[in-house]
Amino acid sequence: MLNKVLIANRGEIAIRIMRACKELGINTVAVFSDADKNALFVRYADEKYNIGPGPASQSYLKKENIIDVALKSNTEGIHPGYGFMAENADFAELCHKNGIEFIGPPVSAMKLMGSKIDSKKSMIEAGVHVVPGVTEAISDHEKAKNIAHDVGYPVMLKASAGGGGIGIQKVDNEKQMEKALVSVRQLAKNSFGDDAVFIEKFIDDPRHIEYQIIGDKKGNIIHCYERECSIQRRNQKLIEETPSCALTPELREEIGEQAVLVAKTARYYNAGTCEFMFKDGKYYFLEMNTRLQVEHPITEAITGVDLAREQLRVASGFELEYGQEDIQPRGHAIECRINAEDPLNNFMPAPSKIVRYAEPSGPGIRIDSGVYQGFTIPPFYDSMIAKLIIWAEDRPRAIERTKRALWEFQIGGVRHNIPFHQVVMNNQQFISGDYTTSFIPKYKILDQVIEHIKETKAQSSTPRTAAAMAAVQAVIVAVAANSSQQNK
């Protein structure tokens, strides 16, 4: 087993990995920026090192600084979390060159999956179902028009090196093609240093379904079933659940087999996610994220597999603790991403100081967070405050439990998106389970959120309601304090 691991990340994911390390007896090293000097993950780590100013480009994205700390602290492994260095093959290579285990997939798999063009070619050869389109980079707009005509409008222009919803644009007709091609290539160059762009058929209004896979260095690969990720805004996931309401048992197994085929084709090990689009009973492989996902806790909730623990064991040379037959999902899980953003200002990030913070609790509730009351959320990074993870015996009870937990969750001093999640959980279309990636605009959810906020403010302005809420919070705090005393 590795003796010491550096976590090249911050916030809740850094704490998540450190907890897994602590259970395995692994010492932890935190790297932090000036903006994170008082962060919870820094306090949690066994060792901590400052690596630069607040902006990520001057700290968390400085590969050499992180390697220097790893060597100085005699670190044996580096876990990149997600974001930052998580899918950076150059960083993984730098780790290996310095005798440090990169806790992730092999560099060859990262490079293959980092190129959407190359990965698509490989998957077609292996027999994986992919989105119709071409597997060549396109720079000439006349050629692009001809290809789009053959594929059939509408099409998607996609940056080969893109990710996180960046570098994609829908093109409805050939009049839009020239301008769109210039725009996407420039964005790809600026964002990823690679202007390679290709064309795929636009699948209108699909569901977004992803499969969790994990493998070891001996070639054992399993999937841990699917996550439904169709509740998105600007191609960014906001709510995830598992299992998906769209899949039959037969389709669930079939797509799982395809996910394992993807991983085997890439000669993959460690944790990863295969993303699919699903519509009218048909599915198409999109891409593979070569890292742990933000929404991995809901998979843990229904399978009992500790994915971070398995990552650390695999990196240490151990085989998986599970075979495919051991993965038997149970119940239903939902994750809500609680972000510091302003619903009344187009959900723009709204970092500031948290003056009140009380998490929900009770059966089936898990909170992954890196904040505390009095902490100031820095403006330089993702605006996530916490992940609310709910498990229950079935989907209706999971939704009701999520509603209750959202009602209990108290965050003061910071604008946040809890009202958004409350609106979604009460939406009949969501409750029915019949929704797609167009859910938010189609059902005018953002307008409903604004109305919900106005109504809530009006209700809370009455002395009776305000007093009732204060009394409830006092009870919650008192119960928590009493429980804490009993546990000492």
Q: Is 280 left (phi over 0), alpha (psi -120 to 50) or beta?
A: left
Q: How far is CA 437 from the centre of its chain?
A: 16
Q: Measured between alpha carbons, how far is 472 from 452 in angstroms, rounded to an integer?
A: 21
**Burial track 270-280 (b if 16+ CB lie within 10 A, e otherwise):** bbbbbbbbbee
What's the Cα-to-Cα distance from 379 to each of 341, 349, 470, rounded to whole Å?
11, 8, 30
Q: Are 369 and 382 in contact (CB under 8 A)?
A: no
Question: Residue 402: which of 418, 384, 386, 413 has the closest Cα?
Answer: 418
Q: Strand, helix or coil at 327?
A: coil
Q: Of the residues 291, 313, 337, 415, which is catalytic?
A: 291
DSSP states along 130-196: B-SB--S----HHHHHHHHHHH-SSEEEEEEEEETTEEEEEE-SHHHHHHHHHHHHHHHHHHHS---
Q: Strand, helix or coil at 255?
A: helix
Q: Is 362 left (phi over 0), alpha (psi -120 to 50) or beta?
A: left
Q: Examine residue 243 and say whether the peptide bond preceding it is cis (omega within 30 degrees of 0).
A: yes
Q: Length of the chain, please?
A: 488
What's the Cα-to-Cα distance from 181 to each of 75, 134, 176, 271, 287, rounded to whole Å?
45, 15, 9, 34, 21
For residues 151, 233, 389, 13, the Cα torsion angle rounded to the nearest 10 degrees is 90
Two structure tokens written together for 123: 């998957």
Q: Measured between alpha carbons, how far is 392 from 390 in angstroms, rounded to an integer?
A: 7
Q: Measured between alpha carbons, how far is 234 from 415 in angstroms, rounded to an integer?
A: 19
404: annotated active-site residue: no
Q: Measured between alpha carbons, how far is 182 from 255 in angstroms, rounded to an integer?
A: 35
Q: Measured between alpha carbons, how far is 410 from 429 in angstroms, rounded to an integer?
A: 27
Two structure tokens written together for 424: 């979604």
Helices (H), 304-394: 307-315
Catalytic center residues? 291
